[in-house]
Structure 1
Amino acid sequence: MEYCKRFLRVLLVFVLANLALLETLAPPPDWLTLPLLFGLLAYYLWFHIRPRRAKGATHRLRALLGGYELLFVAFFVILAEMAFYPLLLATGALHRAVPALGAAPDWVFLAANLLLFVPLVGALLVNGFFRVLLTSKHLRVVWRVLLLLCWWVPLFNLYLFYRVLKAVRHEYYFELSRLENEAVHAENRDCETRYPIVLVHGIFFRDWQLVNYWGRIPRALTRCGATVFYGGQQSALPVAQSAAELAERLRAVLRETGAEKVNLIAHSKGGLDSRYAITRLGLAPHVASLTTVNTPHRGCIFAEELLRTLPKGVIAWMERRYNGLFRTLGDASPDFLGGVRDLTRENCLCFNRETPDQEGVFYQSVMSTMQKPSSAGFPLNLTWHLVRKYDREANDGLVARSSAEWGHFLGNLSASGRRGVSHGDVVDLMREDIPGFDVREFYIGLVKGLKEKGF
Structure 2
Amino acid sequence: FMISLVIVILAGSVLFWNGIIRVYCTSVQLGIKWRITGIICGWIPVLNLYALIKIIRIVMKEVEFETEKLELNKTRKDKNICKTRYPLLLVHGVFFRDSLFFNYWGRIPGELKKNGAVIFYGRQQSAASVKASAEELAERIRSIVNDTGCEKVNIIAHSKGGLDSRYAISCLDMDKYVASLMTINTPHRGCIFADYLLEKVPEKIRSSIADKYNNALRKLGDTNPDFIAAVTDLTASHCKAMNEIMSDAPGVYYQSVGSKMNRAGSGKFPLNIAYPLVRHFDGENDGLVSVSSAQWGEKFTMVSIDGSRGISHADVIDLNRENISGFDVREFYVSLVGDLKTRGL
1:352-391 alignment runs, 5 A limit: 352-391=243-282
Measure how far apart 1:127 and its partner are: 2.6
- Tell me the distance in 1 between the aligned counterparts of 2:249 and 2:15: 63
Partner of 1:413: 303
1:340 to 2:231 alignment: yes
Q: Which amino acid aligns with 1:264?
A: I
1:173-252 alignment runs, 5 A limit: 173-252=64-143
Select which of 210, 220, 225 maps to 1:319: 210
Identical columns (%): 49
- Tell me the distance in 2 between the aligned counterparts of 1:181 and 1:120: 36
Q: Which amino acid aligns with 1:448?
A: G
Alignment check: 8 A CA contact 1:194 1:451 kept: yes
- Tell me the distance in 1 between the aligned counterparts of 2:169 and 2:59: 45
Alignment check: 8 A CA contact 1:262 1:288 kept: yes
- Tell me the distance in 2 between the aligned counterparts of 1:266 and 1:135: 30
Which runs of 5 or more structure 2 residues have no equivalent in the other structure? Answer: none
TM-score, scaled to structure 2: 0.96
- Tell me the distance in 1 between the aligned counterparts of 2:111 and 2:292: 29
Q: Which amino acid aligns with 1:293?
A: I
1:402 to 2:287 alignment: no
Partner of 1:448: 338
1:268-283 alignment runs, 5 A limit: 268-283=159-174
1:261 to 2:163 alignment: no
Which protein is richer in helix relative to its size? 1
- Tell me the distance in 2 between the aligned counterparts of 1:421 and 1:373: 11
Measure how far apart 1:187 and its partner are: 1.9
Larger Rg: 1
Measure how far apart 1:120 and its partner are: 6.2
Alignment check: 8 A CA contact 1:206 1:234 kept: yes
TM-score, scaled to structure 1: 0.73
Instruction: Give the structure, 1 or 2, with the largest relative contact order (CA under 8 Å, sep 6 or more).
Output: 2
- The runs of at least 4 consecutive aligned structure 1 residues that moved more than 6 Å come to none
Partner of 1:428: 318
Measure how far apart 1:351 and its partner are: 0.9
Partner of 1:292: 183
Q: Which amino acid aligns with 2:309?
A: R
Measure how far apart 1:417 and its partner are: 3.1
Which runs of 5 or more structure 1 residues have no equivalent in the other structure? Answer: 1-18, 21-33, 45-115
Q: Which amino acid aligns with 2:195?
A: E
- Tell me the distance in 2 between the aligned counterparts of 1:376 and 1:420: 8
How many corresponding residue pairs? 345
Measure how far apart 1:124 and its partner are: 4.2
- Tell me the distance in 1 between the aligned counterparts of 2:141 and 2:77: 26
Select which of 177, 194, 208 maps to 1:303: 194
- Tell me the distance in 2 between the aligned counterparts of 1:292 and 1:413: 13
Cα RMSD between the aligned structures?
1.8
